[in-house]
Amino acid sequence: MSDDQTPADSKLTSSKRRWAAEGKFLTGRTSRPEAERLPPGQHLVKNWPVLDLGQQPVVSTDSWRLEVRGLVETPLTLAWADFQAIEQSSRVSDIHCVTTWSRYDNKWKGVSTRDLLDLAMPKSEAAFVMLTSYDGYTTNLPLSDFAAEDAILATSWEGLPLTPDHGGPMRLVVPHLYFWKSAKWLRRIELMPEDTAGFWEKNGYHMYGDPWREQRYSDD
């Protein structure tokens, strides 16, 4: 899919646009009680629900490429072997989806976002990141959040290769934000000086997406 294409509409896409307009799932809580682990309006699941925009791209590791572009000293184009040659890291984290499910203690393996940034060397004016996936999906977040200590470019979940329906062969995981910010099937990371809305952010969802502040939808 080329850069100027956008993800296809699906029943879920239409529903989530409606939820944003209606403010669905909001509880009105504005603070996090001390020692509480589950964000407001969320419920725990044992499985891992599959949500996408109605299509799941088939990306083989032979053809897979990851580009890092924009405000970096060293632009990168990594093949799968290049990516696997970077130091591999492990993380354990909770994840929280804007559709109200949360799952505790997910075990990931892959490349730390900080290790990738060490290779690309962001320029001083870089402040935000735009992520683009193989299905045309885009989402934005501050560079500081992309570089969080527990953020990882995951290729493995619970000891097994990440499956295509969950974003394999590689997806981003930024646990402290709603999971729509953790792009599946990631193929391009662009560092930018200013924030720019991605797909859901253009469709009524919050530009940042903090689950503890219930930033599900746009303030506009």
Considering the domain boundaries, does residue 129 fall inside one? yes
Considering the domain boundaries, does residue 193 fall inside one? yes
Considering the domain boundaries, does residue 6 fall inside one? no
Instruction: Provide the 10 A C-beta neighbour count for residue 20.
Output: 18
Considering the domain boundaries, does residue 37 fall inside one? no
Query: Are 213 and 177 in contact, with CB atoms under 8 Å apart?
Result: no
Which range of residues forms the domain containing residue 207? 71-220
Considering the domain boundaries, does residue 205 fall inside one? yes
Considering the domain boundaries, does residue 219 fall inside one? yes
Considering the domain boundaries, does residue 149 fall inside one? yes
Task: Give the global pTM.
Answer: 0.85
Considering the domain boundaries, does residue 156 fall inside one? yes
Q: Which amino acid is at 169?
A: P
Per-residue pLDDT of the chain (220 residues; tens, 9 = 90+): 334 445 555 555 565 555 556 565 555 655 555 568 999 999 999 999 887 666 789 999 999 999 999 999 999 999 999 999 999 999 999 999 999 999 999 999 999 999 999 999 999 999 999 999 999 999 999 999 999 999 999 999 999 999 999 999 999 999 999 999 999 999 999 999 999 999 999 999 999 999 999 999 997 6
Partnered with residue 173 across adjacent β-strands are 152
State the total domains in the chain.
1
SS (H, E, C) 28-69: CCCCCCCCCCCCCCCEECCCCCCCCCCCCCCCCCCCCEEEEE
CATH number at residue 182: 3.90.420.10
